[in-house]
Amino acid sequence: MTYRNPTLIFHMTAIPNLAAIAGAGHLLSKTLVSQAGCQAANIAYQNIQGRRAGRQVTLAPNGILHDYVPFYFAPRSPMLLTINSGNVPNCPFRQDDIVYLVSDAQRVAQLGLPYVFTDLHAALHYARFFGSLADLKEIAWDLFYEDPQLEGYCQFWNSRHSPTKYAQRKEIRQAEFLVHERFPLAAITQIGVRNANMEVRVRTALGGTTWQPQVVVHPGWYY
């Protein structure tokens, strides 16, 4: 199964971060956020962040994972379930606090933004890096698009021993599209939310800013 064109990419963040993101005019890598002394609402596992800090990117523009703005290729990720289950230490948020900032890989390439992507969770030492959209074919897209679907993506992502095609399904579903250092907000095509209440919260958070993206309710992107 081939990939869709456009190939949507999804960045998760907490609603309390939106005003600061709007003020910056870009999504910033963790490295740049730290250098700027910004205080961002945390939704990440600290032990995984430690691994990402030491994970070298083997293609230009190189660096480490923290030098990139990360996106998934699908919503409703294992990480969202972990957050919603209250299993991320020091993270007070649940899924109704988390939004998706959506763009697509083709738009990134057209804008000339430096990027790489992986075929598995990028923190895994055996994940492969690619630097051309022609290599999107290296990702096992059937695991993203097979039935049963919720809003265009397979409902299931868990790994299991049988059949063997599912042995690494969780790791594959967490493949990443990584944009170096900063991602312009003009390239965000929409903000995805779970319900109308979240939409109101997003519009309130951005009410005093110049960034007014489309906000779209996508219940199938959530648990």
Catalytic residue among 52, 76, 194, 201: 52
CA distances in angstroms from 221 to 32, 112, 130, listed in the order given:
29, 29, 26
Sequence-ordered list of residues with C-beta below 8 angstroms from that of 213, at least 6 positions apart, any chain: 185, 188, 189, 190, 191, 206
Structure tokens given for 121: 């969770």
Indicate if 151 belongs to the active site. no
Indicate if 55 belongs to the active site. no
Neighbours of 214 (CB within 10 A): 10
CA quadruple 44, 48, 52, 54: dihedral positive or negative? positive
Neighbours of 126 (CB within 10 A): 9
Q: Are 103 and 111 in contact (CB under 8 A)?
A: no
Catalytic residue among 169, 171, 173, 176: 176
Q: Which residues are marked as active site?
A: 52, 176
